[in-house]
Amino acid sequence: MKIRKMYAFTLGLLIVALLLPSPASATAPSSEMKLFRNPVVGDGADPWVVKHTDGYYYYMQTTGNNLTIRRSKTLTGLDDAEKKVIWTPEPGSENSGNIWAPELHYLDGKWYIYFAAGDGDMGKQRMYVLESEGSDPFGKYSYPKGTHLGKISDPSDKWAIDGTVLEYKNKRYFVWSGWEGDENVSQQIYIAPMKNPWTISGDRVELSRPALPWEKNGTPLINEGPQILKNKQGDVFIVYSASGSWTDDYCLGMLKLTAKDPLKAENWSKNPEPVFKSSPADNVYGPGHNSFVKSPDGKEDWIVYHAAKFKGAGWNRNVRMQKFSWNADGTPNFGTPVPADTLLRAPSGEGGGKLVPALPGIIYSYEAESGVVNHATIVNNTGTSGGSKVGMIDYNDSYVEFNVDAPPGDYTLKVRYSNGMGETSTHQLALNGELLGEVKYPSYGWDTWRDAERDIHLNAGKNKIRLSKATLFAEIDRIDLVPKKTKVFQYEAELGYLKNAKGVNEYDAANHQKVGLMSAHNSSVRFPISVEKSGTYEINIRYKQPEGNHAVQVIHDNGKKSLVLYKGEGSDQWKNTAVKVKLKKGKNEISFSKGRGAVELDYFRLNQTK
């Protein structure tokens, strides 16, 4: 069996820190910043989220057969949010099937849900709308008066999906994706004026069709999923999805309104390149069909989008989110999609403190495919930590057994699993032949990986951990063993407070991110942390110097300055160096500031030596 002793080397291992005692959490758990990891919804596509004045986020996504609303006080809580099916179509009606991409809008004191649907014939998709009977998003809905089953259409009455509403200069417009004719050749983005929330009052105008190379991957050709975005200056953008949604090339394009009248096609300019696209280096494929929302305190802008769960996954997708910024010219800067499982700061206003979380510095990790696999199947999968998973653990004699070589003591066992059964499944856990009960796996979707945990005590010498078939079904990626007691803690550089420096994706970094080349004047990264005991600590720094040349940084510990030398050889390989500092019990502040030369930082580990 392949055994790896891991020092928080992958993000999946780092997540366990949020549940472990640490120098910070042992004294003041609420003082650490709140973190989350993608996906925020384990199974789903076409996400729509809106923040209401009642303090809740209301969320919808494609279900296919009904309209379901979730509500959550936080964006990071969408997966486990309260749900309610607010509408189920009448069987056999013209809008009873293929219910896609619902959107919830608050207009004129009522809620309106726009959605695409048909009768099962894919060529009959049209847009429909429901109207709330009151102001409660979770209340009753019905078809607006005067409509036939809530159908909303322009005079052409052509195939239509992904409708949304643009409000601009006291007027409303309907924006959607549709066919030019009656054949599935190409989907365009259209706009038309609205008389009221359920009535289109004029002819449609084509704003965009797939014309650029990055829009033309897959057939039929596709522009779809238009979403409205406005900046502080009042500029209007339509961010849309391009190329086949089943391909790894699905991406986001953008239109900008350049003159006053949005009904004139010439008043919209198309960005020549996609504004958000796949990043194979980060194992992210097919990011598309999104919505935009503010953080709870209104200070941050977030994009919520779906992406393929792994390379070649097609329509097997989950929902993710990340913060975005604005360029100097007023256009949005979505950056690069962050790899799944990367720890990110939660949206501003979700709670949590200012301290940088202390993550466990020593973890023992064992890949399932490297274990003893009996009557089960090893499957290659780019969405897993080791590139493979063990599935088909479906039979009474099916199991995966791990030969564990870790010091004796108490551990938290993390089983990284996926379950798409729709209800909790279990595996039987055995240690050295002794049954310890079941490990429970709540359902978040196949190929969406979560950690189930159990406390476990390892004996001296080698131990055997076996997971075998119990109830329903689940797949296993790996197991992690996190010591209950440790003196080594890890602090991710990108989770510190950055000045004239930037966190960027780097898939082989511990959290799939690093602080990029700290070469700018006065660049620094600051870490407010807390430790249980005063004394001398060793700071072990993982760094990279791709430019070569030795560099020097200044380390500040509570106002005291130390110099750290980074030996540069022009290498893209991660290296380690160490320096000792004295810390007091309780809150401390450590910062890294530019001295001479430039380095990239992954993390530092903190270990008390005296």
For 163-173, write each residue's pLDDT tens digit: 999 999 999 99
CA 234 to each of CA 169, 228, 291, 589: distance values in angstroms, whole numbers, following the listed order: 10, 12, 18, 41
User: What local confidence, expressed as pLDDT, does residue 30 receive?
Assistant: 58
Residue 589: active-site member: no
Confidence of residue 119 (pLDDT cuts 50, 70, 90): very high
Domain boundary among 317, 345, 373: 345
pLDDT tens digits for range 463-484: 999 999 999 999 999 999 999 9
Of the listed ranges 435-439, 561-565, 576-580, the one predicted with least confidence: 561-565
224 in the same domain as 161: yes
377 in the same domain as 298: no
Supply the DSSP string of 279-344, one letter for each residue: BGGGTBEEEEEEEEEE-TTS--EEEEEEEESSTT-TT-EEEEEEEEEE-TTS-EE--SPPPTT-EE
**Among the options 32, 79, 215, 224, which is catalytic?**
224
268 in the same domain as 150: yes
Q: Identify whether 32 is part of a domain.
A: no
226 in the same domain as 142: yes
Q: What is the DSSP letter of 487?
A: S
Q: Of 79, 78, 85, whose CA–CA distance to 63 is shortest? A: 85
Are the beta carbons of 178 and 190 closer than 8 angstroms?
A: yes
User: Looking at residues 18-39, what average pLDDT do you find?
Assistant: 61
Q: What is the DSSP letter of 512?
A: S
Q: Identify whether 17 is part of a domain.
A: no
Are the beta carbons of 602 and 509 closer than 8 angstroms?
A: yes
Are the beta carbons of 411 and 465 closer than 8 angstroms?
A: no
The alpha carbon of residue 445 and the mean position of all alpha carbons in its chain are separated, in whole angstroms, by: 15
Q: Supply angle C-alpha 392, 396, 397, rounded to 5.
A: 80
- What predicted TM-score, i.e. pTM, was given to this entire model? 0.93
Q: Which of 373-377, 458-462, 568-572 has the highest mean pLDDT?
A: 373-377
339 in the same domain as 398: no
Domain boundary among 433, 450, 483: 483
Can you tell me the distance from the alpha carbon of 323 to that of 335, in angstroms, rounded to the nearest whole number? 9
Can you tell me the distance from the alpha carbon of 286 to that of 505, in angstroms, rounded to the nearest whole number? 17
Mean pLDDT (the chain) is 93
510 in the same domain as 445: no
Q: Identify whether 247 is part of a domain.
A: yes
User: What local confidence, expressed as pLDDT, does residue 13 receive?
Assistant: 35
Domain boundary among 292, 315, 345: 345
Of the listed ranges 202-211, 264-273, 444-453, 571-580, the one predicted with least confidence: 571-580
Q: Identify whether 19 is part of a domain.
A: no
Q: What is the DSSP letter of 11?
A: H
509 in the same domain as 465: no
152 in the same domain as 166: yes
Q: Identify whether 352 is part of a domain.
A: no
User: What local confidence, expressed as pLDDT, does residue 2 receive?
Assistant: 35
Are the beta carbons of 61 and 45 closer than 8 angstroms?
A: yes
Q: Identify whether 223 is part of a domain.
A: yes
CATH number of the domain bearing residue 208: 2.115.10.20
Full residue range of the structural domain in which residue 176 is found: 41-345
- Residues 6 or more apart from 264 whose CB is under 8 A from it? 205
62 in the same domain as 120: yes
306 in the same domain as 184: yes
SS3 466: strand
User: What local confidence, expressed as pLDDT, does residue 569 receive?
Assistant: 75
Who wins on pLDDT, 11 or 70? 70
478 in the same domain as 329: no
**Among the options 46, 79, 477, 600, which is catalytic?**
46
Q: Identify whether 5 is part of a domain.
A: no
CATH number of the domain bearing residue 408: 2.60.120.260
Of the listed ranges 28-32, 107-111, 397-401, 574-578, the one predicted with least confidence: 28-32
Residue 46: active-site member: yes
Can you tell me the distance from the alpha carbon of 477 to that of 378, in angstroms, rounded to the nearest whole number? 10
Give the chain's domain count.
3
Q: Identify whether 358 is part of a domain.
A: no
513 in the same domain as 422: no
User: Looking at residues 77-90, what average pLDDT do you find?
Assistant: 97
